């Protein structure tokens, strides 16, 4: 139900209960005399004046009593004791007995067992137990202080309705909202409209939600955002536990780390603010933002960032069906770790890396990054580099381990270390095929140019021969472990979401 509708029902309840009419009774006064007040004949009362209406007692210094109209005007040290459950104090009182409505002015204070309300003008209905102010007021409940321009208080159900310039101040945070519903018994706040919650640790924004001030648990909806010094988390819906510094985010999730310049997106996330990891899953996407506008886009089933105790991101992890795209470098594997301090990216389980028209593979690939660009790549065990010579032929180098050197994300050279073998198609200046070089060596160095492999240098114990292509068997043209996966290489950032399982020989 919209808040305006709640207000209307509260007002209507006043008129429903107003049908039960009883007479206001004078209990005592030090002095009583007839008088004229506002052109009416009234009873003037002064000195320790007390009225009673049903189970409500009203005290004042002086009063004008309109007995026939069942109303009164009271002045000085107003005190209303409503069934010993609500106490009200003010400078002046206008009371209507038929409707049981009290209008109080000047230094108004309303108290019950849970809260204290202060304002300069208050309307309070003794029958419905609803209080209303519209010129600004303040309510104190436990450690919470609430202020607003308009407010209703339903003392029976211990519920407050605040509107316009609403501010809730707690020792740990402050809440600014357009409309707020607060229950003094449960100490739960419900907010409607743009709301900001600000603390030393973070700030939260939403347009609808609730906050339990006892448990410090909360739920936010519609353009929800949680922001601290280094991260910003946005989502359609957000659950947050302030005691645990833990949040869950749902739908259109985005986590931005401004220190490491990384963005995580997905449909579900769990977020720890203090010294633990946060992860994103379901259509997840990571963007490693580059100043040169050549960002790396990465997709996996689950993305995770681990932090140290100072909330600095230490490592980024991606696992299950990892695939990434950068303008000059692309890759895929089953799982991956990026160490921020060392700027090292490690790819596990059938890792593939494409760059400079080449495909790199091995058991594990470790890449060192400089300014978010590939600088040096280590390939451990079963290392293999291949490159298209034509659609039919591939230049290939294999070995135990490899080190690839990059510049501006382009391969400059590759050192093959241990059991090195090569298949290299030699061409003359007009690109005519001269023959195929079949070689082996303990170590090999491969030089690259803009067009691809420019030279192969056999460093130790070389054994190589240049052979006419028609004198070499088709099987000899492919090194052991040859597998082409160019068909899996993402050509655009959108293709990282396409993952074909079951890698096999093309």
Tens digits of per-residue pLDDT, 245-263?
A: 888 999 999 999 888 888 9
Provide the pLDDT for residue 451. 63
**% of the chain with per-residue pLDDT over 70:** 93
The separation between CA 229 and the C-alpha centre of its own chain, rounded to angstroms, equals: 13
Domain ranges in the chain? 351-481
Q: How far apart are CA 85 and CA 159, in angstroms?
A: 15
| Cross-strand bridge partners of residue 209 | 191, 220
Kindly report, residue by residue over 303-337, the tens digit of the pLDDT.
Answer: 998 887 777 778 889 999 999 999 888 999 999 99
Classify domain 351-481 by CATH architecture: Sandwich (2.60)
Kindly report, residue by residue over 337-352, the tens digit of the pLDDT.
Answer: 999 888 899 999 999 9
Kindly report, residue by residue over 402-440, the tens digit of the pLDDT.
Answer: 998 888 777 888 899 999 999 988 888 787 889 998 989
Contact 95, 101 (CB under 8 A): yes
Which residues does 11 contact at the CB level (< 8 Å), separation at least 6? none
Q: How far apart are CA 346 and CA 301, in angstroms?
A: 17
**pLDDT confidence of 195, banded at 50, 70, 90?**
very high
Q: How far apart are CA 406 and CA 378, in angstroms?
A: 11
| Cross-strand bridge partners of residue 366 | 346, 378
Contact 367, 348 (CB under 8 A): no
Provide the pLDDT for residue 452. 67
Tokens 């059938």, residue located:
350
More confident residue, 158 or 220: 220
Kindly report, residue by residue over 8-18, the tens digit of the pLDDT.
Answer: 444 444 444 44
DSSP code of residue 486: G
Which residues does 197 contact at the CB level (< 8 Å), separation at least 6? 173, 174, 175, 176, 203, 204, 205, 211, 218
Q: How far apart are CA 311 and CA 88, in angstroms?
A: 49
Residues 127, 129, 135, CA angle at the centre, nearest 5°?
A: 120
In terms of Cα–Cα distance, which of 351, 348, 349, 414 is closest to 387? 414
Phi first, then psi, for residue 177 (nearest 5°) are -150, 165
Listing DSSP states for 362-410 in one string gives -SEEEEEEETTEEEEEEEEEEEEEEEESSSS-EEEEEEEEEEEEEETTE
Which residues does 433 contact at the CB level (< 8 Å), separation at least 6? 425, 426, 427, 469
Provide the token pair at 392.
Answer: 């039919």
Q: How far apart are CA 357 and CA 390, in angstroms?
A: 12
Q: How far apart are CA 297 and CA 496, in angstroms?
A: 8
**pLDDT confidence of 189, banded at 50, 70, 90?**
confident
Q: How far apart are CA 193 and CA 211, in angstroms?
A: 14
């Amino acid at each position: 139900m919209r808040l305006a509708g709640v207000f209307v029902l509260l007002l209507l309840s006043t008129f429903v209960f107003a049908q039960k009419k009883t007479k206001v009774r004078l209990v005592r006064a030090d002095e009583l005399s007839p008088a004229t007040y506002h052109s009416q004949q009234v009873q003037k009362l002064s000195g320790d004046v007390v009225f009673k209406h049903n189970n409500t007692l009203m005290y004042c210094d002086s009063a004008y009593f309109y007995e026939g109209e069942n109303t009164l005007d009271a002045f000085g040290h107003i005190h209303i004791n409503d069934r010993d459950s609500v106490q009200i104090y003010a400078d002046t009182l206008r009371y209507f007995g038929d409707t049981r409505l009290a209008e109080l002015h000047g230094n108004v204070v309303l108290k019950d067992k849970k809260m204290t309300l202060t304002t300069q003008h208050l309307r309070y209905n003794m029958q419905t137990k609803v209080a209303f102010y519209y010129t600004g007021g303040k309510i104190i409940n436990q450690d919470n202080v609430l202020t607003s321009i308009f407010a209703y208080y339903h003392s029976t159900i211990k519920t407050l309705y605040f509107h316009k310039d609403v501010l809730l101040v707690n020792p740990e945070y402050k809440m600014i909202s357009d409309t707020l519903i607060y229950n003094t018994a449960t100490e739960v706040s419900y907010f409607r409209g743009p709301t900001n919650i600000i603390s030393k640790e973070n700030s939260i924004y939403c347009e609808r939600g609730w906050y339990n001030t006892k448990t410090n648990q909360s739920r936010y909806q519609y353009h929800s955002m949680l922001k601290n010094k280094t991260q910003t988390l946005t989502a359609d819906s957000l659950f947050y536990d302030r005691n645990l510094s833990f949040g869950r985010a749902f739908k259109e999730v985005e986590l931005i780390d401004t220190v490491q310049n990384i963005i995580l997106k997905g449909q579900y996330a769990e977020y720890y603010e203090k010294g633990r990891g946060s992860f994103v899953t379901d259509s997840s996407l990571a963007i490693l933002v580059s100043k040169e506008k050549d960002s790396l886009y990465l997709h996996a089933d689950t993305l995770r960032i681990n932090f140290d105790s100072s909330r600095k991101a230490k490592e980024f992890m991606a696992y299950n069906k990892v695939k990434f795209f950068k303008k000059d470098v692309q890759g895929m594997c089953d799982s991956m770790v990026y160490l921020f301090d060392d700027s090292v990216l490690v790819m596990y389980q059938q890792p593939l890396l494409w760059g400079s028209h080449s495909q790199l593979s091995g058991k594990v690939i470790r890449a060192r990054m400089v300014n978010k660009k590939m600088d040096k790549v280590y390939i451990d065990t079963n290392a293999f580099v291949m490159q298209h010579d034509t659609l039919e032929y591939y230049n290939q180098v294999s070995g135990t381990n490899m080190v690839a050197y990059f510049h501006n994300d382009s391969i400059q050279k590759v050192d093959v270390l241990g059991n090195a073998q090569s298949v290299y198609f030699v061409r003359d200046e007009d690109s005519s095929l001269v023959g195929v070089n079949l070689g082996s060596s303990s170590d090999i160095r491969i030089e690259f140019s803009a067009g691809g492999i420019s030279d192969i240098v056999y460093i130790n114990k070389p054994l190589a021969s240049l052979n006419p292509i028609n004198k070499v068997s088709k099987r000899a043209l492919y090194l052991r472990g040859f597998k082409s996966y160019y068909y899996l290489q993402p050509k655009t950032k959108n293709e990282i979401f396409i993952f074909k399982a079951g890698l096999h020989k093309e």
